[in-house]
Amino acid sequence: MASTRDIRRRIKSVKNTRQITKAMELVAASKMKKAQQAALASRPYAQLMASMLRALAPQVEETMHPFLVRRTIRTRGILLITTDKGLCGPLNGNLFKLVGEIKTPAKFVAIGRKGAQFLARTKRDFLADFQLHDRVPFNEVKVAIEFMMKQYLDGVIDTVEVIYSRFRNTLVQEPTLRTVLPLGSVAESTVALHAETGAISKTDTREMLFEPNPRQVLEALLPFYVNRYIYQLALSGKASEHSARMVAMKTAKDNATKLLGDLTLEYNKARQAAITQEILEIAAAQFSGT
């Protein structure tokens, strides 16, 4: 049995760990709430854009824009959205499994330090990495998106796909692979955006006029659509990160509490054994003295 001094040291260490994990749980819970609110607040804008594209679809030809033209896929372009920090359970590991399942030629761009480290460590074709703060500023995400779109238009990559953690609820975050470009058709793109934002896809029967003409509106609107779609995925990934971290820290705190109870019981037993031993030694000394 360990000495009471060693057990006291372990109890103190576990108490400190529990205090830290509890604080991290509270911080993650606060950030998770803000991330969820940000994701919900951006949905009406994305849904309105999808409705505009759906109304525009019957008035344009699908070959009007390079984002709509299907091409032979030689090299895939993958945008990997991960976290900057760890302590969020299996969140990043599940995303890395999706990356490992990609066997065709691909070039990668990372948002998040963990993803960049994984791509560098596994020696994959790594084009660039970008950082993303907890508040998920649109300008930070836009830089990465525009880099991917430029690579797509220049022919360096033939698709733009996003690997991210889709936020379902506080306990469930799904590793997901979404194909953003090529869009294939305007109608398909609106269905995908409606599915991501949780909206019901409806057909607007009102007659709409587009100025100066539908083609110019399409050319201006599609880049905005791609930006907003990927930004919505980034918001979902950030909400997943804080949710996973909160759950992981709560589990760690609960385990520390359980371990603390076991150590306290062990300490009491060791202390009682030491007292009993001292009593026996005193009684033996008195008996031998008589």
Q: 3: which residues sit within 8 A by CB, 6+ positions away?
A: 270
Q: What is the mean pLDDT of the chain?
A: 81
**Most confident listed range (31-40, 59-68, 109-118, 266-275):** 109-118
Q: Is the pLDDT of residue 197 over 60?
A: no
126-130 β-sheet, strand order: 126-130, 106-111, 76-81, 160-167, 173-181
Residue ranges of domains in the chain, CATH in brackets? 4-27+246-289 (1.10.287.80), 28-245 (3.40.1380.10)
The amino acid occupying position 205 is: T
Q: Is the pLDDT of residue 200 over 80?
A: no
Predicted pLDDT at 193: 57
Predicted pLDDT at 80: 92
Predicted pLDDT at 79: 92
Predicted pLDDT at 164: 92
222-240, pLDDT tens digit by residue? 888 888 888 888 888 888 8
What number is the average pLDDT over the span 242-250? 89
4-40, pLDDT tens digit by residue? 788 788 888 888 888 888 888 888 888 888 888 887 7
Q: pTM of the full predicted structure?
A: 0.80
Q: Which two tokens stand for residue 33?
A: 């709430």
In whole angstroms, what is the distance from residue 179 CA to residue 181 CA? 6
